[in-house]
Amino acid sequence: MGIVDEDIARVRDATDLVSLIGEQVTLKRVGQRYVGLCPFHQEKSPSFGVNPVMNLFHCFGCQKSGDAITWVRDTEHLDFVEAVERLAQRAGVTLRYDDRNQQKDRSRKGRLAEAVGVAIEYYHRLLLDAPEGGAARRYLRSRGFDGDAARQFQLGWSPDGWDTLSRWLQQEKKFSRDDIVGAGLAFVNKANRLQDQFRGRLMFPIHDARGEPAGFGGRALTDEGPKYKNSPETPIYQKSKLLYGLHWAKEAIVARADVVICEGYTDVMAYALAGAPNAIATCGTALADEHVKLLKNLTRNITLAYDSDSAGQGAAAQWYRWEHTYDLSVRVADLPAGQDPGDLWTSDQPKLLASLEHARPFLRFRLDRALGSADLSTLEGRGRAAEVAAAIVAEHPSELVRDQYVMDLAGRLEIDADILRAEVARPKERPRENQPSRNAPPPPDDSAAPPPRPTVVVDRREIDLLRWVIHEPEVVADWIDEPLLLDPVARDAYELLVSTHDFHEALAAAHGATRELLERLAVEEPTTDDERDTLRARLMVNTVFPVAEALRARLLRDDDDRASEIKMDLDALAHAREVGDWVNAQVVAKRLVGWVVDAAHAVAPEVPEMPVVEQAE
C-alpha cells in the first residue's frame, strides 16, 4: 500500500533534477549533462554527473546514483513515501494513495502537525511579547540566551491557565477537539473537558527529520511537577524516532562528518550558538536503536556531549554493539566534571568548542576517568587501579582493541603486560558475548547499512555499445542483437532496454549490478571524434570481434567446418581495423554479425566464454 504509481511518475516528471541538486551542489554543464563535486564523498575533481533528460544522477567515484526521489531520500534521509511527498509539495503535485485508510492516516497526520505548528507560533508569541512570559525570559537570560536565540530556536511559553491553548485553538483556529488531543496538546480531564498538556513551562518545539512539527519539550521554572515534560506519544510524536534539532543540524552533520549528542535542549542551543551546529539531543528518553539507525545514515562519527558522570555511566555494552553493528566511531567530549554544555555556555564559552576538539574515544574516556580518581602513587593503588581498568577493557568486544589498551595500561601503571592481559581475560570479569543479559538491548535487525557497492566491471566495448543504445540508439539499431553481448550484466541491461517502453521503465525493472550499470550509463554521454559512418563501423567491429572468436572456438571443438570460414573473416577484419579501412571492416563485421546471430537463433548454443583478447579502442 502506498502512493499511486501514476502520481509517483508525475512527481518524477515534474521535478527538475538539475535545479533540485543545484540547491546543494555547484553544477557545470558539459555537453548534454552537468557535472560537479559529489556531495556523498570527499573529492577534488568532479566525478558526479546529472542527466537532465533522463532525470538521473550518478557518481563514478562512490557509485551513488538514482533519480530525484533517491536524491531526496539520501540527502534529507527520508523514507520513500516521505521523499515523494516532499517532492510533490515542491512541484505542486497532489498525491493519491492506493489505500483509503492510508490516505486518511496521512491526512490526519498532516492536520495534527498543523495543530502543533500553530501551537508553536502561539507559545513563541507569548514568550516574546506577553507579560506572563517574563519569568521564562529572565530564566533564558540567566542561562546566557537572549531574544535572538529565542527567535532562532522558536522557544515559547505555555500559559498557566487550565485550557488557554485549547480554547484558542478551538475558537480562533477551528481545530476540533479530536485534533487537539490527537496532537498531544491537551487531554480530556475527569470533567470531560480539555485540559492543556503544558502549563507554565518554557517550551522547546520538536520537529521530525523533515522539519514537520511533532511536539514539545517543556521545562518547569518552579519546583512543582517534573522538571521536564515531553509531549505524549502520538501519531506524529514518537520519541524513539525523534531527535531535537536534527532537522536544522542535518547539513552540518554531513558536512562535518560528526554528530554531537547532548542530553538537554539548552545544550544543543549552546553548541549551535558557539559554532557547532551539528548538535542534537534525545527527547526525554535514552538513545535508542532507532536513533542510531537514523544518525548512521548521516555520519559514522558520534561525539557524546554528556556530563562526565552520565557519559561514564552509559551502557558500555550498548555503545560497543552500535560501534560494531553500524561501523561507528564514538568519542566523548572533554567537559569539566559536573558541568554540561549549557553550564559552559554561561561560564566559559571558549571551552565549548574545545570540548569537541579534545574529545576522546569512548573506552579511552572511561579509562581516564577511572584512573583519574585512583591513587597511582603507591603499589597498592596501582594494583587496584589495574583491576578496575582491566574490568573496563574486558567489556570491549574486540580482542585487538583490548590488547592495544592492555599494552597502554601496562606502561601507565608499570605492570607487566602479560599479567594485565590475563586479568582482562578472566571469565568472571568478561560478559559472555553470545549470551546477552536480561537487560541487554535486542540484537540488531538487518537494516544496518550495507557495505559500499563495488563498481560493476563490464567489458568496456560492451559498455560503449550500451551507451549508444541508451543515448543515440539509431547508431546501432539496425544491427545490434542480444547474442552480440557476452557479459551477462550487459546482456540483461540490453534486454531490459529493448523490452520496455522507455529508460525509466527499464531502470525500474532492473536490480543489482544491472541497475547499477544502467544508472551509470545514464549520465555517461557518448563522445566520439569519428564521422557517423566510421563510428558505426567501429562499434560493430569492436562488438562482434570477441563474440565471433568465441563462436569459432566452439565450432572448432565441434569439428564444424564453418570455423575456417569464420577464421578468414576474422583475419580480414583484423587487417581492415589495423589499417583503418573502416568501409571494408564494416562489410566483414556485418557478415560476422550474421554468423553470430544465425548460430544463436538456429541452435540456441550455450553462451560462449569470454576469450582473453586485447580490447580495441
- The candidate with the shortest Cα–Cα distance to 214, out of 192, 183, 188, is 183
Taking only the tens place, the pLDDT of each residue in 15-68 is 989 989 988 888 998 877 899 998 888 788 888 999 887 889 998 888 888 899
Q: What is the rounded distance in angstroms from the CA atom of residue 331 to the CA atom of residue 359? A: 6
Place 265 in a pLDDT band, splitting at 50, 70 and 90.
very high
| Whether residue 465 has pLDDT greater than 90 | no
Whether this model's pTM surpasses 0.85: no
DSSP per residue over 4-52, as a string? -HHHHHHHHHH--HHHHHHTTS--EEETTEEEE--TTS--SS--EEEET
Please tell me which residue, 357 or 296, carries the higher pLDDT value: 357
Query: What is the model's pLDDT at position 442?
Result: 44
Kind of pairing, strands 213-220 and 201-207? antiparallel
Between 245-254, 520-529, 580-589, the lowest mean confidence (pLDDT) is in 520-529
Residue 270: pLDDT band with limits 50, 70, 90:
very high
Cα 517 from Cα 463, distance rounded (Å): 9
Q: What is the pLDDT of residue 426?
A: 81
Q: Which residues contact 445 (CB under 8 A, 6 or more apart)?
A: none
Mean of all residue pLDDT scores within the chain: 84
The crossing angle, in degrees rounded to 10, of helices 5-14 and 68-76 is 90
Whether the predicted pLDDT of 457 surpasses 90: no
Share of the chain above pLDDT 70, in %: 89
Position 447 scores a pLDDT of 41
- pLDDT over threshold 90, residue 279: yes
Residues with Cβ within 8 Å of 109's Cβ and at least 6 positions away in sequence, in order, are 235, 236
pLDDT in tens, 70-123: 998 888 777 888 889 889 988 888 888 876 666 677 778 889 999 999 999 999
Q: What is the CATH number that goes with domain 5-91?
A: 3.90.580.10
Phi, psi of 347, deg, nearest 5: -100, -35
Secondary structure of the chain: what % helix, strand, coil (to 5)?
A: 55, 10, 35
Alpha helix segments (H runs only) across 77-224: 80-91, 100-129, 134-142, 147-152, 164-171, 177-182
- Reported as a pLDDT band with limits 50, 70 and 90, residue 520 is confident
- Cβ–Cβ under 8 Å, residues 374 and 349: no
pLDDT at 310: 57
Please give the class, per CATH, of domain 100-237.
alpha beta
Q: Please name the residues in contact with 599: beta carbons below 8 A apart, sequence gap of 6 or more.
A: 483, 551, 605
> Is the CB of residue 592 less than 8 Å from the CB of residue 544?
yes
Short-list 359, 362, 213, 355, CA closest to 270: 355
List pLDDT tens digits, range 542-578.
Answer: 888 888 888 888 888 888 888 888 888 888 888 888 8
Contact status, residue 317 vs residue 282, Cβ threshold 8 Å: no
Angle between helices 582-603 and 532-557 (to 10 degrees): 40
Where in the sequence of the chain do the CATH 3.90.980.10 domains occur?
Answer: 100-237
Supply the pLDDT for residue 607.
Answer: 43
Phi/psi at 615 (5° precision): -80, 125
pLDDT of residue 466: 87
Encode pLDDT of 214-247 as tens digits. 999 999 998 877 889 999 999 999 888 899 999 9
Main-chain dihedrals φ then ψ at residue 3, nearest 5 degrees: -75, 140
**pLDDT at residue 608 greater than cutoff 90:** no
- What is the tens place of the pLDDT at every residue in 346-372? 888 888 999 999 999 888 888 888 888
Positions of CATH 3.90.580.10 in the chain? 5-91
The 3 state secondary structure assigned to 439-481 is CCCCCCCCCCCCCCCCCCCCCHHHHHHHHHHHHCHHHCCCCCC
Q: Is the Cα dihedral 143, 148, 150, 154 positive or negative?
A: negative
Alpha helices in 225-332 (DSSP H): 246-256, 265-274, 289-296, 308-312, 316-326
Strands 56-59 and 201-207: unpaired
Contact 390, 354 (CB under 8 A): no
Task: Give the model's pLDDT for residue 187.
Answer: 94
d(CA 571, CA 564): 11
pLDDT in tens, 394-452: 888 888 888 898 899 888 888 888 888 888 888 644 443 333 333 444 444 444 444 44
Q: Cβ(390)–Cβ(429) under 8 Å?
A: yes
